[in-house]
Amino acid sequence: GCGGGGGGMASCRRLSGAGLREVLGPAQGLLFDCDGVLWAGERAVPGAPELLERLRRSGKAALFVSNNSRRSIAELERRFTRLGFRGVRAEHVFSSALCSALFLRQRLLGGGGNGSGAGRVFVLGGEGLRGEVRDAGLRLAGEDEPAPGEPVRAVLVGYDDQFTFAKLAQACGYLRDPQCLLVATDPDPWHPLSDGQRTPGTGSLTAAVETASGRKALVVGKPNTYMFDCIVERFGVDPSRTLMVGDRLETDILFGKNCGLATILTLTGVSRLEEAQAYMASDSAAAKDLVPNYYVDSIADLIPGLDE
């Protein structure tokens, strides 16, 4: 196997040389986070498109799992192409927007059927997220006249740069019904911008809704494992032969640990090596789960581990 999951703390070893071949050789596939791993803003990480190409030639699967709830899958597919990544199809891409829609479809529509009588979803988020919810067969609150028997059955909090107090109050109104679910796309407190600044994440908006409503949100995104369930359902991935590659210890690496995957931290994104080392030195059991098995400066460093 790849040395992941199971008991014992990971040891945050730099992956290079012979170690690289030992780890990548047996792997059947890699799950990649996107922001800070494949690209930063509008720039692909140098060597990242080549890595994906080499993975394809080696017969290893590449799937993508992102907490970013801004974009629809179709937009993400176009983004891959625009940034120079070839051969990535929509079905390979799992975003928290898509998975939140699938989660709500499961909970509100059960095993299938149409949307009538299932209730509506109040979405705090942009058009990318709203589109995924509609594509899942759900109806959104605030769009056209509600039919009888169509109460709001879920509030979905996503990345919403148009969030306002009024929307917060509206969400709380719906959540007074204990049958109404509170779901969040991801827990990220902030996201980096290309110039080193930060923009507030879904996690900060969810905190406001939770505080106002007295409810805890069901969080779909990493580090929770639901997105992995979606991946397994579509592709039947073997965790013991799959590597998780990410840039954020608290989401990507913990997600890998939770799903029984070996983890690789790449340093082109949010988390610094010192943070991983601090978690490793910590006495807390929870901190140990944030330590990656391996790290690289960039995913381009994985290329020498693949056959020519």
Partner 1 sequence: AALPGPAPKDWVQAPLDPAVRAVLVGFDEHFSYAKLCQALRYLLRGGPDCLLVGTNRDHRLPLEGGAGIPGTGCLVKAVETAAQREAFIVGKPNRFMFDCVAGEFQVDPARTIMVGDRLDTDILMGNDCGLTTLLTLTGVTALDEVRSHQDSGCPARHSLVPDFYVDSIADLLPALGE
Nearer to partner 1, 168 or 231 (CB): 168
Residues at the site binding partner 1, with contacts judged by CB under 8 A: 160-166, 168-169, 172-173, 176, 189-190, 193-195, 197-201, 203-205, 207-212, 214
Shortest distance (Å) from residue 147 CB to partner 1: 25
b/e burial code for range 151-172 (CB count within 10 A of at least 16 → b): ebbbbbbbbbeebeeebbebbb
Is 186 catalytic? The answer is no
Please name which of 54, 50, 24, 20 lies closest in space to residue 38, comparing C-alpha atoms: 50
Cα separation, 170 vs 120, in Å, equals: 14
Cα separation, 146 vs 119, in Å, equals: 9
Catalytic residue among 35, 160, 252, 301: 35
**CB of 300 closer than 8 Å to CB of 306:** no
Nearer to partner 1, 90 or 193 (CB): 193
**CB of 51 closer than 8 Å to CB of 86:** no
Shortest distance (Å) from residue 234 CB to partner 1: 32
Cα separation, 123 vs 179, in Å, equals: 16
Nearer to partner 1, 106 or 211 (CB): 211
For the four alpha carbons of 124, 142, 77 and 193, in that order, the dihedral sign comes to negative
Catalytic residue among 33, 160, 186, 289: 33
Could you list the residues known to form a binding site for Mg(2+), using ranges. Answer: 33, 35, 247
Could you list the residues known to form a binding site for substrate, using ranges. Answer: 66-68, 191, 222
**CB of 218 closer than 8 Å to CB of 181:** yes
Nearer to partner 1, 25 or 142 (CB): 142
Is 289 catalytic? The answer is no
**CB of 220 closer than 8 Å to CB of 183:** yes
Q: Which residues are catalytic?
A: 33, 35
